[in-house]
């Protein structure tokens, strides 16, 4: 006796056949990064000045002014335990600007009390000048955040999702052609405290030399004990006190 079995979830070996589907596709967004052996960016947050153990203060968060007359500043914020996360886009307006930092306001619409319950060091924020409407960080100019009077700080702090790997960072000055010209600072990354290290597990602190406001390049090397994977990120830095 032969029993005919029908597989409700099977598709053909060549492609999915949706000719008899009741549903019509409205939108699909997909991506695949062929340049990396693992998914996602290890850069989670970047700021000028060391974070404090004091409660996170929503009113003090700002970003370096990219001096762009238009465009979008995209902001990704996440708590170290991974429970809070947000993706925000700010349109750069035509209003008068003082040349100082630009306040990130509002930073949340629903979770003021939640955010202020975290120590400042447990919230990572990555801000960047978007290259298109998708707010993709790929190829974007990263804008370090400030949490008060840290403009001119000589410390650059980078929050990294190292996935339990060892990591080190190096900062390079760029030539007029955009190539790495001179090493400015380097640091070995340390464990990002204790507790639940879900969204980032490493903190890298670089001591900045005195320099003019400029675009620089950050190189991040992750070492799993067998191989080293390198990532590069361009960012805008304010002058350090040296």
pLDDT of 9: 35
Closest CA to 64 of 125, 135, 114: 125
State residue 102's pLDDT score.
Answer: 86
Burial of residue 135 (CB within 10 Å: 0-12, 13-18, 19+) is: middle
Chain segment 60-105, per-residue pLDDT in tens: 899 888 877 677 899 999 999 999 999 889 888 766 566 678 888 8
Q: Is the pLDDT of residue 22 over 80?
A: no
Contacts of 58 (CB under 8 A, 6+ apart): 107, 108, 112, 115, 116
- What are the residues facing 172 on neighbouring strands? 183, 217
Domain boundaries, the chain: 43-237
> What's the rounded mean pLDDT across residues 215-226?
94
Is residue 216 helix, strand or coil?
strand
Instruction: Pinpoint the alpha helices (H) of the chain.
Output: 112-116
State yes or no: pLDDT of 12 exceeds 60.
Answer: no
52, pLDDT greater than 60:
yes
pLDDT at 237: 87
Instruction: Name the range with the highest mean pLDDT among 22-36, 150-164, 165-179.
Output: 165-179
Name the pTM for this structure.
0.80
What's the pLDDT at 24?
A: 39
pLDDT for 39 beyond 90: no
Query: What does the pLDDT average to over 38-61?
Result: 83
CB neighbour list of residue 78: distance below 8 Å, 6 or more residues apart: 44, 45, 84, 85, 86, 123, 124, 199, 200
Given the DSSP bridges, would you call strands 214-223 and 190-191 parallel, antiparallel or unpaired?
Answer: unpaired
pLDDT digits (tens, 9 = 90+) for 115-166: 999 999 999 999 999 887 788 888 899 999 988 755 557 899 999 999 889 9
């Amino acid at each position: 006796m032969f029993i005919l079995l029908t597989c409700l979830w099977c598709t053909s070996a060549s492609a999915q056949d949706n000719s008899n589907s009741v549903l019509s596709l409205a939108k699909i967004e997909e991506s695949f990064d062929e340049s990396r052996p693992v998914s996602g960016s290890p850069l989670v947050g970047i700021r000028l000045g060391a974070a404090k153990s004091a409660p996170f203060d929503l009113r003090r968060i700002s970003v370096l002014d990219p001096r762009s007359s238009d465009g979008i500043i995209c902001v990704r914020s996440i708590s170290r335990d991974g429970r809070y996360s947000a993706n925000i886009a700010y349109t750069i307006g035509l209003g008068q600007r003082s040349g100082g930092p630009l306040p990130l306001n509002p930073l949340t619409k629903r979770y003021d009390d939640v955010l202020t319950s975290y120590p400042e060091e447990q919230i990572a924020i990555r801000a960047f000048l978007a290259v298109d409407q998708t707010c993709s960080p790929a190829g974007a100019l990263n804008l370090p955040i400030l949490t008060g009077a840290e403009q001119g700080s000589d410390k650059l702090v980078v929050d990294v999702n190292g996935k339990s790997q060892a990591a080190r960072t190096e900062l390079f000055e760029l030539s007029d052609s955009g190539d790495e010209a001179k090493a400015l600072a380097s640091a070995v990354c340390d464990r990002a405290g204790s507790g639940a290290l879900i969204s980032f597990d490493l903190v890298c602190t670089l001591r900045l030399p005195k320099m003019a406001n400029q675009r620089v390049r950050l190189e991040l090397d992750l070492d799993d004990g067998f191989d080293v994977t390198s990532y590069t990120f361009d960012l805008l830095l304010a002058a350090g006190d040296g």
